[in-house]
Amino acid sequence: MFYFDYIEGRKVLKSDLLSDLEHFFTTRELCLFSKEEDMSANRKLVEDYFGVRMATNQPVHGVDIAKVEADKYFYEKTDALLVEKGAAYMNFGDCTPLVFSFSKGAMIAHAGWRGTAQSMAKVAVKRICDEYDIKPQDIKVAIGPAICGKCYDVGQDVYEALLATVNGAGQGFAQRDNKYFVDLKQINQRQLLECGVEQIDVCPYCTACGEKLFYSYRYEKTGYRHSAVVKV
Ligand SMILES: [Zn+2]
């Protein structure tokens, strides 16, 4: 279950499934990145709270994974950060944040439709299992706030590319009024289940509809982002 907590009085979202891992998802009250405004004061607030500097990435809608190294804080052209020790944050504009927790560390991954079509979730699970010799059943995953299946209509080509990543239509896919709708949180959940991950927490919040807790790139054309943050 997702629940709200506060970092220095600012509202953030956490998953109780990941109680072993320091992590959170930002709301509008603690934005860490914007193309319109310098957010370094908020990042400093989090770094002071954790007591360590955070690494981040330049997303390119691929499935490359970078391992965070000591004294390196920026990772170009990568959509997942593997953290054995240290802290990292990753920014999202409606795309799906995946936070993996396992005995040896954590990973944040960026799964928009392109990443999901390339099965980012399955690539991440394989990397964690191969690198640390653990089983998918021992990985916990929180799927963070992202655009929901009612708000996200896509072209037929995108719909079919996503459909090819799971065993048949059903949860995560809908057609109405000659439009195609996908729910990336549910599709990522299905990908994880299909590769053996059993412990999954799916965030109920949409970045586009409902309470304005998050920024939505698609519906507001904003340069502000929401972020997933971990500290190991
Ligand atoms: Zn929605």
Reported as a single tens digit per residue, the pLDDT across 74-111 is 999 999 999 999 999 999 988 999 999 999 999 999 99
Asked if 66 and 109 count as a contact pair (C-beta separation under 8 A), the reply is no
DSSP assignment of 1-17: -EEEEEETTEEEEEEGG
Whether the per-residue pLDDT at 216 is higher than 90: the answer is no
Q: Is 23 helix (H, G, I), strand (E, B) or coil?
A: strand
Structure tokens at 22: 């320091």
**Greater model confidence, 20 or 222:** 20
Confidence of residue 63 (pLDDT cuts 50, 70, 90): very high
The whole-number average pLDDT for the span 44-72 is: 96
Whether the per-residue pLDDT at 172 is higher than 90: the answer is yes
**How far does the centroid of ligand 1 lie from the alpha carbon of residue 136, in Å?**
30
The whole-number average pLDDT for the span 34-57 is: 96
| Pairing relationship of beta strands 22-26 and 10-15 according to DSSP bridges | antiparallel
Whether the per-residue pLDDT at 222 is higher than 90: the answer is no
Long-range contacts of the stretch 163-170 (C-beta < 8 A, 24+): 164/117, 165/116, 165/117, 165/119, 165/122, 165/191, 166/190, 166/191, 166/194, 167/194
How many CB atoms are closer than 10 A to CB 231?
A: 21
Structure tokens at 160: 């079919």
**How far does the centroid of ligand 1 lie from the alpha carbon of residue 206, in Å?**
5
Number of H helices, E strands in the chain: 6, 16
How many CB atoms are closer than 10 A to CB 215?
A: 22
pLDDT of residue 211: 79
Closest CA relative to residue 18, chosen from 111, 94, 101: 101
**How far does the centroid of ligand 1 lie from the alpha carbon of residue 33, in Å?**
22
Asked if 191 and 122 count as a contact pair (C-beta separation under 8 A), the reply is yes
How many CB atoms are closer than 10 A to CB 148?
A: 22
Domains of the chain: residue spans and CATH: 2-231 (3.60.140.10)
**How far does the centroid of ligand 1 lie from the alpha carbon of residue 149, in Å?**
6
Provide φ and ψ at 88, rounded to 5°.
-150, 155
The whole-number average pLDDT for the span 163-174 is: 95
**How far does the centroid of ligand 1 lie from the alpha carbon of residue 39, in Å?**
26
Whether the per-residue pLDDT at 8 is higher than 90: the answer is yes
**Side chain identity at residue 97, one-letter code:** P
The whole-number average pLDDT for the span 201-216 is: 91
**How far does the centroid of ligand 1 lie from the alpha carbon of residue 148, in Å?**
4
Query: What residues does the ion ligand 1 have nearby, CB within 5 Å?
Result: 148, 151, 206, 208-209
Q: What is the pLDDT of residues 10-20, one digit of tens each?
A: 999 999 999 99
**How far does the centroid of ligand 1 lie from the alpha carbon of residue 146, in Å?**
8
